[in-house]
Amino acid sequence: MSFDFNIALTGIGPHSNTKLSSNMSSIQMALYADNGSGKSFISKSFKRISDLKYLDRTDQAQIDLLVEKSTAMVRFGEKQGILSLSIAPDGQPQKNLSVRFEIGSLPIVSDNTGLIYHVFNSEYVRENLEAVRYHPEDKVSGFILGKANIDLSKEKEQLENYKKSELEAIGKIRDMVASTQRELKAKGIQSNTKEYLAITFESVLRGETNSEDQSYTSLVEKYDILKSMPEHMQDISYRPFPDDIESFIVILENANEIIENKYTLSSFSEEFKKKFKDNQAFIEAGLQLSNGESCPFCGQKYNRDAFALIDDYNSFLQDEESKIIKTINGIIAKITTFSANFLASSRFAKDSSNEYDKVKKYFPSFCETYISCVDVATTQQVLDKICEALEAKKHMISQKGASIKPSIDIIKAELSDYKRVEIENIGRVKELNSNKNNISAERLRLRKALCNARFNQLIEESEKTRSDIVTVRECINDLTKEISEKENKVRIDKRKKLIEKLKDYLAIFFKDKYDFDEKQFSVVFQDRALIENTDYVLSDGEKSILAFCFFLANIHGVVENESDYNRLFLVIDDPVSSMDFNYVYNVAQAIRNIKKEPEIGRIRYLVLTHNMEFMSILVRNKIVSKKFLLSDGTISDFKDDYVMPYTANLLDIYKVSIGGMKPIHTIPNQIRHVLETTYRFEGSCGGFDDYILNNEILGKNGCLYSLIEDHSHGGLRTSKGYTDNMLIDSCRMVVDFIASKYPGQIEEVKRLSA
C-alpha cells in the first residue's frame, strides 16, 4: 500500500506557505533543515495538539499559557496560522488534520485522521524533565486494553476475504474511471479541464451526478458536427432598417393634420390649375433657374405673354392651395421611399435568416435560436391607403377629409414590433458570429458538457459495483468491531509498561551505569535513587538522552488500547542536538527499533534535524523511507549527494569566518561536530580535548575546547556565554585547521557558498 502524504504550514513562524507533498510506501521520513528555517515550528505545531488534548480547562493559568503559545505560532503580520495534513491511502478516503492558530485564542483542531501525535522537542524536554530537574513525575496511570488469547482465525480470514472483495470492486471502478479518461482524451479533451479532473474514483464512489441533462451520445454527435464546420465561413450579414421611425411618425401625423383641415381654393381656372399641377415640377424648376430675361431651357427671350404667364405661375405658387398640394406631394414621396426601404429591409432579414440557419447547425448551443422575419404586408397596405387619402385630399382641399389616425396607430404598433425584433435579431447575429469567429469557446463548452455527461453515464454504469463496495464495507466494519470486542479482554498497566521500556532504553544508552527504580520512580546511580539531585549527577548530554528515553517509553503512556499503537504518529525534533557523537548511532538505532516492539505494528514518524551526520545515518541505514530538505521556506526531496560528513556544518563555519553569515547559537555544536569527525577519521589515540589542545593551530585558541564543550549541551542561562567575536575567531581558526590538512574541503565549501 502507498500513501499520498501532504503537510502545509501557512502563516506559521517563518513559514509563509511551506508545503510537503509526496507518495510513500510508509510514513517514516526525515527532514533536514537549514539553521533558522523554522524546523522547530513544525514540531511545535504538532505539539499543540497534545497540549490542547491534555489541557485542564479548569486551570486558567494553563489556558493562558497555551493561548500565549498559540499566539506565538502566528507569523508576524498575519492574523492566523494553519498546519494542515492529509493522508490518502490507496483505495481509501483522504483523512485530514487542521490546526489553526489565532492571535489571543486556543488552538483550533479539526482531525479525522484517527492518529495519536506524540512529539519530542525542546518543549517536551522542558515541560516533562527540565522543569522537575530531570526527576520524572510519577503521574502515569491507567491501563492499556489488550487482546485476549482467543482463536479468531476464521473471523480474520473472513475479514481478509471481505477486504479482498473490496479491493477488487475498487479496482473495477478505477479501471472504469481510467477507461473514461482515455475515451475523453481521445476526443481532444485536455486532462487539466476542471470537469475532466472531477472524474475520479472518489467522486464516482459518492455517486452524485451533475446537472448536465443531455446524453453523452447526443453531445458526441454535436461535437462531431462542430468539428466539421468549414474554415473561413463569412460572417452573417444583417442590415438594420436605415430610416428614423420616430421622424416618420411625425410626418404621418402632419399628413393627418393636412387631411383633417380645410384650405382655400385658388381663383385660377380649373384648366390653369390642372395644367400647372400636371407640370408643377418642371414649372418650379424653370422659375428657379430663370434669369428674368429668357427661358432657362431653350434660351428664347421672354415676350409680354411669357412675362404674364410667369406672373401667374408665381401668383399661383403663393396661393394656399398650391402650397398644400406641394406639401402633400412631398409627404407622399417620403412615404413611398420609407415603404420601399421597409420592404427591402424585410427581404434582407429573410436572407440573414437563411445565412443564420446555415451557420447555427454547427453550434449545438444555438440550435434552438433563429432570426425572426416580420410580415410587412399589413404595413405596406396601410401606407398605401394613407397615400391614397393624400392623393384624394389634393383634389378636395377645401373639404375636411376622414382622419387617418387609426392607420397611424397601426403603423406605430407594426414599426415598434419590427424594431424590437430587429434588435433581437442583431443580438443573435452578433453572438453567433462571435462564436463562429471564436470557435474554441464553443468547443470548450461542448468538451465540458461531454465530461459531465460521460461522468453521469459512468455513475449509471458503476451502480452495482458501488453498491457492492457499500455492502462489503458494512461487513468489514461489523466484523472488525466483532473481532475488536473479542480481543479487548485483557489490560496492561501503563506505569509498569513505561518503566519496563524506560529500563530497556537506559540499558541501551548507558549499559549498567544507570537504572530506574519502580517504587520511587527515579533514576538510579550506583544503587542510589537520584530523587533530589538528578540534575547535578547527570551531564547535559546524559540529560538529553534521559529525556529521549522517557519520550520513547512514554509511547505506552499515550495509548489507551493495543489498537492505538497502530495509530501513533511520532514527531521527533533534533534528539541529538546536545549529545556526544557516540550516542547518535544509538538514537538512530532506537528509532529503528520502535517498530520491532511486539505491541507496535505499523509506526509513523517524522524526524526533524539540523545535524547532517545524523541525517546521513538515518538515510544510509534506511531508517526512513523518505527524506526531505527544508531551505528558504521550501521543502524538497533530499538528494543523496547532500549526505556528506559535516559538509553543511563546515559551510556555516566558513560563512561565519568570512562575514557571510552572522554567528548563531548552534555554531559551537557545529564546530564540535566538524572537529569530532576529523578526530575520528584520523584515529587519534588521545582524548578529544588533547586532540584540540595539542594541535599547533587549534591550540592557539585557549577557549575553543571550553566554548564548544559548554555550548554543545542544553542548560538554563541568564545571559549569553560568548560574544560574536569569540565565535568568529573560533570559526576562522577551524577553517585554517581544515585548510592545512584537507584543503579540498575548504575549496568545496567555497564553491557551495559562491
Decide: 592 and 621 in contact? Cβ < 8 Å.
Answer: yes
Query: What is the percent of the chain where pLDDT is above 90?
Result: 33
Q: Is the model's pLDDT at 97 over the cut of 80?
A: yes
The Cα-based distances of 521 to 315, 486, 525, 546, 631 in angstroms read: 138, 34, 13, 13, 42
C-alpha grid cell, residue 650? 563546515
Could you report the per-residue pLDDT of 590-600, keeping only the tens digit for each?
A: 898 887 777 77
pLDDT of residue 188: 84
Could you report the per-residue pLDDT of 476-492, keeping only the tens digit for each?
A: 999 998 887 776 666 67
Decide: 207 and 176 in contact? Cβ < 8 Å.
Answer: no
Phi, psi angles (nearest 5°) of residue 737: -65, -50
Q: Is the model's pLDDT at 414 over the cut of 50?
A: yes
Rounded-to-integer distance, Cα 98 and Cα 433, Å: 50
Element containing residue 572 per DSSP (H, E): strand 568-573
Rounded-to-integer distance, Cα 19 and Cα 84, Å: 9
User: Which pLDDT band, with edges at 50, 70 and 90, does 89 fall under?
Assistant: confident
pLDDT of residue 298: 76
The Cα-based distances of 537 to 502, 512, 513, 550 in angstroms read: 18, 16, 12, 17
Q: Cell 549527494 maps to which residue?
A: 641
Rounded-to-integer distance, Cα 122 and Cα 610, Å: 14
Rounded-to-integer distance, Cα 145 and Cα 30, Å: 31
Rounded-to-integer distance, Cα 352 and Cα 372, Å: 10
For 723-744, the three-class secondary structure string (H helix, E strand, C coil) is: CHHHHHHHHHHHHHHHHHHCHH
Give the helix ranges, DSSP H, for 55-152: 60-73, 122-128
pLDDT of residue 646: 65
Element containing residue 97 per DSSP (H, E): strand 95-102
pLDDT of residue 323: 80
Rounded-to-integer distance, Cα 433 and Cα 382, Å: 36
Decide: 82 and 109 in contact? Cβ < 8 Å.
Answer: no
Q: Cell 505560532 maps to which residue?
A: 73
Q: Cell 513559514 maps to which residue?
A: 15
User: Which pLDDT band, with edges at 50, 70 and 90, does 134 fall under?
Assistant: low
- b/e string for 289-307 if b means 16 or more Cβ within 10 A? eeeeeeeeeeeeebeeeee
Decide: 469 and 170 in contact? Cβ < 8 Å.
Answer: yes
Query: Residues 562-581: what's their mean pLDDT?
Result: 85
pLDDT of residue 142: 58
Is 394 exposed, middle or buried, given 0-12, 13-18 or 19+ CB atoms closer than 10 A? middle
Q: Please report, in angstroms and rounded to a whole number, the separation of the first and last CA atoms in the chain.
A: 43
Query: Residues 356-385: what's their mean pLDDT?
Result: 84
Maximum distance among all Cα pairs of the chain, rounded to whole angstroms: 161
Rounded-to-integer distance, Cα 87 and Cα 114, Å: 11
pLDDT of residue 716: 46
Rounded-to-integer distance, Cα 314 and Cα 722, Å: 123
pLDDT of residue 286: 74
State the CB neighbour count (10 A cutoff) for residue 24. 14
User: Which pLDDT band, with edges at 50, 70 and 90, does 143 fall under?
Assistant: low
State the CB neighbour count (10 A cutoff) for residue 222. 21
Phi, psi angles (nearest 5°) of residue 18: -95, 130
Q: Is the model's pLDDT at 539 over the cut of 60?
A: yes
Q: Is the model's pLDDT at 310 over the cut of 60?
A: yes
Decide: 607 and 32 in contact? Cβ < 8 Å.
Answer: no
Give the 3-state secondary structure percentages of the chain, helix then strand then coil, rounded to 5: 55, 15, 30
Question: Which residues lie below 8 Å from residue 555, measured CB to CB, with a gap of 6+?
Answer: 118, 501, 565, 568, 570, 594, 600
Coil vs helix vs strand at 437:
helix
Decide: 27 and 87 in contact? Cβ < 8 Å.
Answer: yes
- b/e string for 629-668 if b means 16 or more Cβ within 10 A? bbeeeebeebeeebbebbbbbbbbbbbbbeeebebeebbb
More confident site: 585 or 392: 392
| C-alpha 468: how far from chain center | 34
Sign (positive or negative) of CA dihedral 357, 363, 368, 371: negative
Question: Which residues lie below 8 Å from residue 178, measured CB to CB, with a gap of 6+?
Answer: none
Q: Helices 439-461 and 216-227: crossing angle, nearest 10°?
A: 160
Coil vs helix vs strand at 720:
coil
Domain 3-146+490-642, CATH: 3.40.50.300
Element containing residue 120 per DSSP (H, E): strand 116-120
Decide: 193 and 450 in contact? Cβ < 8 Å.
Answer: no
Query: Residues 395-404: what's their mean pLDDT?
Result: 87
Could you report the per-residue pLDDT of 423-470, keeping only the tens digit for each?
A: 898 888 888 788 777 776 777 888 899 999 999 999 999 999 999 999
Write down how long the chain is.
754
Phi, psi angles (nearest 5°) of residue 211: -85, 0
Domain residue extents for the chain: 3-146+490-642, 153-232+441-482, 235-265+327-439, 267-318, 647-753
Decide: 10 and 82 in contact? Cβ < 8 Å.
Answer: yes
Rounded-to-integer distance, Cα 472 and Cα 467, Å: 9
Question: Which residues lie below 8 Å from residue 572, measured CB to CB, with a gap of 6+?
Answer: 119, 120, 551, 591, 605, 606, 607, 608
Query: Residues 372-396: what's their mean pLDDT?
Result: 88
pTM score, two decimals?
0.47
Q: Is the model's pLDDT at 226 over the cut of 90?
A: no
DSSP letter at 334 equals: H
Decide: 287 and 314 in contact? Cβ < 8 Å.
Answer: yes
pLDDT of residue 700: 84
Rounded-to-integer distance, Cα 433 and Cα 427, Å: 10
Rounded-to-integer distance, Cα 691 and Cα 705, Å: 10
Rounded-to-integer distance, Cα 534 and Cα 524, Å: 9
Least confident interval from 36-40, 116-120, 198-202, 683-687: 683-687
